[in-house]
Every structure is written in structure tokens, then in C-alpha cells.
Amino acid sequence: MPCTLITGSASGIGAAAREALVAAGHDVIGVDLRNAEIIGDLSTAAGRAQVIAAALQRCGGRLDGLVLCAGLGAQVQPPSLTVSVNYFGAVELLDGLLPALQRGAQPAAVVISSVASAHLPWDRNPLAAALEAGDEAKAQAVVNGAGPQGGNLAYAGSKNALTVAVRRRAPAWGRAGVRLNSVAPGATETPLLQAGLDDPRYAEAIQKFIPPLGRRAEPAEIASVVAFLMGPAASYVHGAQIVVDGGIDAAGRPTQF
């Protein structure tokens, strides 16, 4: 039975991914702030180190799968928390758990990014240099100093950098024998989305963010793609970002892909 670690496992896409992977025969170790096998806070370096140590202990240093779903939205204050969880809470676990994945059977990892990762190009991402350098304090200072735009910058900038981090790891991870991909959901019916709808700063923009299919995704629809990427049917899919957004990216950027 594959042993798979899932962050953000208590709600939203993480909970749906847990259900899908359990149904596919995985032994899942969940990570979240509550209601999980590992209780951990990915917003701090110490919290991330604690999660990595606990995961290695629980899996005996051998992991078959990793699904990183934990994330925060643009409405979170201060916006530095969004950068810490969305970016550092993913890349530090990727790097810290790669040796355990190398010992696994047909190992694979999936990172939940966002369709917003393409809304702020890397060469115009104000967070790019700090995040690529691993300078968490500098990235936090940039978003906290961005005023009313700090939340949007923290979200789009962190997700853009996260997708770049996944793609840049593809050569080394391929040589290590571990498949690594990202999924870019559009608006999905989760507690995170509802928190944005409840915030007057973001409610109108979210309400207008309706794709060609005419509805938001259900978490299970994103989780089904995660389950595919984690399974043998995706054995040659590596370094890819799979957009699952009901067509909104195609509608907004038909000539960019």
C-alpha cells in the first residue's frame, strides 16, 4: 500500500485528494492545523521542519507519494503569511522529503498551484528574486509593503513562483526517479474561496471569475486529476502543470500556453 503525505488534508482540495487517494489504495498521512495525523504550521521555518521530521518518523524514512495542498488566499492578513505557506510551505517540503521519496515505490509528487500562477509572469513578479533566493523575510517585506495590493501580490506572486519552482526541479527529480507535477485549479468551492467571498475587498472579483463552463469546480474534480497524476496511468507525465479551471485560462489567454 503506497504511503502518501498530504498537506492541507483537513478541508477543501486536500480533503478531497485524501478521499480519492484512500479510494485508490493509498495509506495517507495528513498534515494540517487540526484534524490530521500530523498537526503542523507551515507558515514558519520551525513549523515546516517539525512537519518534515514527523513525516519521516511516521513513514520510516520511505515515502511513495507527496501531495502539497496547503495554501492561503489573498484575503489573509498579514499577506506575508500567504507567501510563507503557499511557497515556502511547499518547496521546503519538496526538498526535505525528496530523499524519502527516492526510497519509495514508483514515487510521485503533486503540488497544488493555481490558475493565478499565469496571471503574473515570472519576469514581472516582484517576489521572484526573493523567493528564488529563499529569502523569506525579504519576500514578506515586499508584500507587507505593497499596501492594498499586498494580498493579490502575495497570492499570485507565490503561486507563480511555486509553479516555476516545480518546473525547475523537473530535471533533478527526473534523474532521481521521482515524478513531480503541479495542478492549477480555477475557482473551486472550498472554505478558502468562501473566505474570499466573505471579504468585501475580493468578493466582486471572485463572483465575476466564472469560466466558460459556467460554474466553479468541486474539490473532487480537482482531486481526480491529482489521483491521476499520482497513479501509474501518468507514468510519463513529469514537470507539467495541468490546468483544471473550466476553460477560464483559455478564454483569457488563447494565444499563450
Q: Active-site residue numbers?
A: 155
| Range 197-206, long-range pairs (CB < 8 A, 24+ positions) | 198/75, 199/75, 201/75, 201/148, 201/151, 202/73, 202/74, 202/75, 202/151
CA distance 169 to 104: 18
